[in-house]
Amino acid sequence: MCLIPAGTAVDLWPSMSLHSELLRLDRSFFSTPRIAIVVAAFTLNPHALAGTSIAASMPRSLAELYACVRNRECTAFKGAADFVPGQHLATDYVRWWMSRAQALPYRIPCFDKVSYEPYLVVRKAWPNFAATDSRITADNQFNAAHGDDASAPVFDEEFTGYGKNKVQWVQQLRSRGFAFWTLPRGFLVHCPHAMSESGKKWQRNAGNHKARMDRLFEFQVAVSRAEEAEEALQPKNGDSVQKGGCPRRTPHCPVPLLQQVDMLQPAYLGKRTPSEVQG
């Protein structure tokens, strides 16, 4: 078995216990097809940390993360109303924070938007080598038993340059019927940095690139929604429903999740005593 943290980058720092928390998960999370493990992501507030050492401010444990949020130096990644847009709210930070003591993973019931792009741990996708090829691994055998869509798909090469590649990949997982489970206690922290040159080109739509990628993504979303509408008309059996009666695709949330932003702010966390935070 080979697991990979998908879509992370050097500006995402893992908590010290992230690896051990992954190993604590029940083995069924790694043997069950179409499972994606969401790692909660936070970010340092660049305004609160002006003139201070980023490395020294980076929380590495739950207790340090608690202090960072209480001091308004950290917030949910892409989830503060006047800081950055809410692209990670479906992770349900409030539930993540409240369930840390039990250390129990929970399933994300819905996506609040198509641009949800969590950081995931998934089975690695392997090429379909010939059966006699020495590179055949347990992952190939896993796919043979559960289907080629049981592991993570490759990235769509139509999406080039900056933007839309990871969010489109997450939508591929959703279309394949992946269930998204949030890892308790382990987390990532984003280190703020200046926008890259490729990011600047994306923002100003250089060469009409952003517009082309947006149109391609919107087309794929439209196709996915048409497939969902067709699935909704089918009898609730077969591929339209997973084992246990769960819907094949994680549905869209019926209401926005913006209230999570306020509930993860210091005033809310202040209702918890420091002794409740361990790690």
Extract the residue ranges of the chain whose pLDDT is less than 50.
Answer: 1-4, 81-85, 127, 129-132, 135, 242-245, 259, 261, 263, 266-279
Tens digit of pLDDT for each residue in 132-144?
455 455 555 555 5
CA-based torsion, 124, 108, 160, 44: positive or negative = negative
Domain chopping of the chain, boundaries: 3-276
Q: What is the pLDDT of residue 149?
A: 63
> How much is the pLDDT for 272?
40
Q: Which tens digits make up the pLDDT trace of 2-35?
A: 444 555 566 789 999 999 999 999 988 888 889 9
> One-letter amino acid identity for 14?
P
**pTM for the structure as a whole:** 0.77
Neighbours of 182 (CB within 10 A): 22
179-190 and 12-14 beta bridge pairing: antiparallel
Q: What is the pLDDT of residue 276?
A: 38
Q: Count other Cβ atoms within 10 Å, centred on residue 20.
A: 11
Q: Which pLDDT score is estimated for 257?
A: 56
